[in-house]
């Protein structure tokens, strides 16, 4: 039964809805873009206005500001205007396909008045990137002051005692197994019966041939040979076991080296190796760059996952529970989001004289940015090139194992200032060149950052100088150096990354420190090593001795048994040969 009188009010209601859409759609779209963008990036996304012209398939976003997720008072980018040409049909499937995007007036790294970071909003990606950075050991360039407190060395954190206990247990079990194996062979009984048989054969020589005796002799010889074969197998086992125990002993030395390193970290003793100096001076700067690159790569993986399986993500924010919204990509259908191609114009500091050089406009292209790379079938690419600037990135999430690569180089541009960590020294590289390359395949990571500048200006923070004992040393070492070359490499996996950093300052600073405080540091290191030794050797020495004992003793015993067996075998064979050589005797 239809209530016809309600058709009019319902039509009015629908018309009101359309009017509300016409009035508020731009505002709703702006709010939605800000909310979604902020949640995705972990930093505030602010938009001045959005103009929706769905009939013409065009959306214009003006005054876009994206805060940096890393720096409190810095914007990641600002854009004067972004104009997107949308495909209309996918909108009916709640999918956004942008055929072409034009971005004008992009600016990077501009300052902002308030902190734009939103803690915890990037679904743990920032925490993961920070955890990764925390796994990269960056030594501290500082001297131990006052009395060295060796009691802080917690024996429970040392690796060697545990390794020694494990080795000791392994030695015991191996020794027991070998002893049982040797006892099971019963070589003595075999040798004794062989000797007796040889004696009987010797006595039988010259007498009438005794076929039964010859048969017994052959059986005895066979038993001797079988025992020899089993002894050979045992020797093989012992050789393998010996190798394992020797590896275990070598492992003790490795563990001890790690314990020394742990002790050194606890005592905050600076290493005098040039490589460590480089890591101490520029490790943090390198890690910061690698961490950022990893964050963006992980963000790409989060929102551009490989494969065609259903993908769940957090539902829309509302008063009620958000739940999860699941996407069901299907081959041949539109992805939930696709940017076919985009043209970006952006500005970077100019290469003119001084820091106040006018920004210069450059252009870049982006293509294939999609939420479902497997549907699009091609990797996303981004490239930018201009005099002095080259950048390219390729996000290949088409296959099961995602591969992300990016490389950028800047030349002839003013490089940002660097602060040497925990030291009252700052350096302004001035104009120079910098490169960053980054590759993440599955969880294997490889990255390199290098910096080169020939007009370095050094500045000293006099307020901080009094509190940093090494500041004066480093300042005197580096302040006269006009050029800077830094190279940092990252390799390994996300779980076990390895960082190497070197610079042209390493050797200079290391020699300076060595000359000034090297003796004290070496003495402190020796003292620390002594303390580590006193703890670890209590368990390591007996384990090592037991391993050496068993690896020397058992093979010696085996060799002795082997000699006895071989001797009796040769005797028996000789006696048999002598007997069977008699004329007229035919052996069965």
Partner 1 sequence: MLLKLLQSFFKALHSEGAPGQVAAGIALGSILGLTPLLNLHNGVVFALIVLLDVSFPGALLGWALFVPVGCLLDPAFDWLGQRLLLDTPALTPLWTGLYNTPVVPLTNFNNTVVLGSLVCALALWPPLFVASRWGVARYRATVAERVRSSRLYRALAASKLYAAYRLFRP
* Interface residue list for partner 1 (CB under 8 A): 1-3, 6-7, 9-10, 13, 89, 92-95, 310, 312, 315-316, 318, 320-330, 333-334
| 316 vs 442, beta carbon nearer partner 1 | 316
| 212 vs 321, beta carbon nearer partner 1 | 321
Min separation Cβ 373 and partner 1, Å: 17
Q: What is the 3-state secondary structure (H, E, C) of 71-90?
A: CCCEEEEEEEEEEEEECCHH
Min separation Cβ 309 and partner 1, Å: 9
CB contact at 8 A, 353 and 366: no
**Alpha carbons 408 and 292: distance in angstroms, whole number:** 14
Which stretch of DSSP H or E encloses residue 56? none
Q: What are the tokens at 303?
A: 């929102």
CB contact at 8 A, 290 and 490: yes
**Alpha carbons 293 and 447: distance in angstroms, whole number:** 9
Q: Terminus-to-terminus CA distance in the chain, angstroms?
A: 115
| 317 vs 581, beta carbon nearer partner 1 | 317
Which stretch of DSSP H or E encloses residue 404? strand 403-415
| 36 vs 162, beta carbon nearer partner 1 | 36
CB contact at 8 A, 211 and 556: no
| 295 vs 334, beta carbon nearer partner 1 | 334
How many angstroms separate the Cα of 50 from the Cα of each of 24, 58, 95?
11, 11, 18
Min separation Cβ 335 and partner 1, Å: 11
Min separation Cβ 303 and partner 1, Å: 17
Q: What is the DSSP letter of 5?
A: G
Q: What is the DSSP letter of 397?
A: -
Min separation Cβ 23 and partner 1, Å: 17
**Alpha carbons 540 and 542: distance in angstroms, whole number:** 6
Beta-ladder partners of 477: none
**Residue in the structure block whose two tokens are 């920004």:** 359
| 370 vs 414, beta carbon nearer partner 1 | 370
Min separation Cβ 17 and partner 1, Å: 9
Q: What is the DSSP letter of 284?
A: H
Min separation Cβ 244 and partner 1, Å: 47
Min separation Cβ 39 and partner 1, Å: 16
CB contact at 8 A, 16 and 24: no
Q: What are the tokens at 308?
A: 């065609």
| 332 vs 588, beta carbon nearer partner 1 | 332
| 309 vs 361, beta carbon nearer partner 1 | 309
């Amino acid at each position: 039964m239809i209530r016809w009188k309600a058709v009019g009010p319902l039509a009015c209601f629908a018309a009101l809805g359309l009017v509300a859409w016409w009035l508020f759609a731009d505002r709703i779209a702006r709010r939605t873009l800000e909310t979604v963008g902020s949640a995705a990036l972990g930093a505030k996304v602010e938009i001045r206005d959005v103009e929706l012209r769905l009939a013409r398939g065009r959306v214009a976003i003006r005054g876009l500001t994206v805060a940096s997720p890393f720096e409190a008072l810095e914007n990641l980018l600002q854009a004067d205007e972004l104009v997107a040409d949308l495909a209309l049909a996918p909108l009916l499937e709640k999918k956004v396909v942008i055929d072409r995007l034009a971005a004008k007036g992009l600016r990077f790294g501009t300052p902002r008045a308030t902190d734009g970071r939103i803690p915890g909003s990037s679904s743990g990606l920032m925490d993961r990137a920070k955890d990764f950075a925390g796994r990269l050991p960056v030594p501290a360039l500082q001297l131990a002051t006052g009395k060295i407190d060796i009691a802080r060395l917690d024996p429970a954190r040392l690796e060697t005692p545990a390794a020694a206990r494990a080795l000791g247990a392994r030695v015991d079990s191996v020794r027991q197994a070998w002893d049982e194996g040797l006892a099971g062979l019963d070589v003595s009984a075999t040798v004794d019966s062989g000797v007796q048989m040889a004696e009987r054969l010797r006595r039988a020589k010259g007498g009438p041939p005794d076929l039964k005796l010859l048969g017994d002799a052959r059986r005895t010889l066979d038993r001797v040979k079988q025992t020899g074969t089993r002894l050979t197998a045992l020797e093989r086992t012992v050789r393998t076991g010996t190798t394992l125990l020797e590896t275990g002993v070598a492992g003790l030395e490795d563990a001890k080296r790690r314990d020394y390193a742990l002790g050194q970290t606890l005592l905050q003793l600076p290493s005098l190796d040039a490589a460590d100096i480089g890591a101490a001076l520029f490790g943090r700067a390198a890690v910061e760059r690698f961490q950022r690159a990893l964050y963006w790569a992980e963000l790409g993986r989060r929102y551009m996952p490989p494969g065609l399986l259903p993908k769940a993500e957090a539902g829309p924010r509302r008063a009620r529970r958000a739940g999860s919204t699941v996407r069901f990509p299907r081959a041949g259908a539109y992805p939930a989001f696709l940017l076919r191609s985009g043209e970006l114009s952006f500005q970077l500091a100019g290469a003119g004289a001084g820091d106040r050089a006018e920004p210069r406009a450059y252009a870049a292209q982006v293509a294939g940015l999609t939420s479902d790379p497997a549907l699009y079938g091609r990797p996303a690419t981004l490239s930018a090139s201009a005099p002095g600037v080259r950048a390219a990135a390729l996000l290949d999430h088409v296959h099961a194992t995602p591969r992300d690569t990016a490389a950028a180089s800047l030349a002839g541009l003013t490089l940002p200032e660097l602060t040497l960590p925990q030291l009252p020294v700052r350096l302004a590289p001035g104009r120079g060149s910098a490169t960053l390359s980054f590759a993440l395949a599955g969880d294997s990571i490889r990255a390199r950052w290098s910096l080169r500048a020939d007009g370095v200006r050094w500045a000293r923070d006099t307020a901080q100088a009094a509190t940093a004992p090494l500041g004066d040393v480093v300042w005197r070492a580096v302040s006269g150096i006009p050029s800077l070359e830094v190279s940092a490499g990252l390799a390994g996996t996300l779980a076990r990354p390895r960082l190497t950093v070197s610079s042209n300052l390493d050797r200079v600073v290391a020699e300076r420190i060595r000359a000034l405080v090297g003796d004290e540091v070496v003495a402190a290191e020796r003292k620390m090593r002594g303390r580590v030794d006193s703890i670890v050797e209590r368990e390591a020495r007996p384990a090592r001795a037991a391993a050496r004992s068993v690896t020397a003793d058992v093979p010696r015993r085996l060799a002795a048994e082997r000699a006895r067996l071989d001797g009796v075998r040769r005797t028996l064979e000789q006696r048999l040969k002598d007997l069977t050589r008699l004329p007229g005797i035919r052996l069965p």
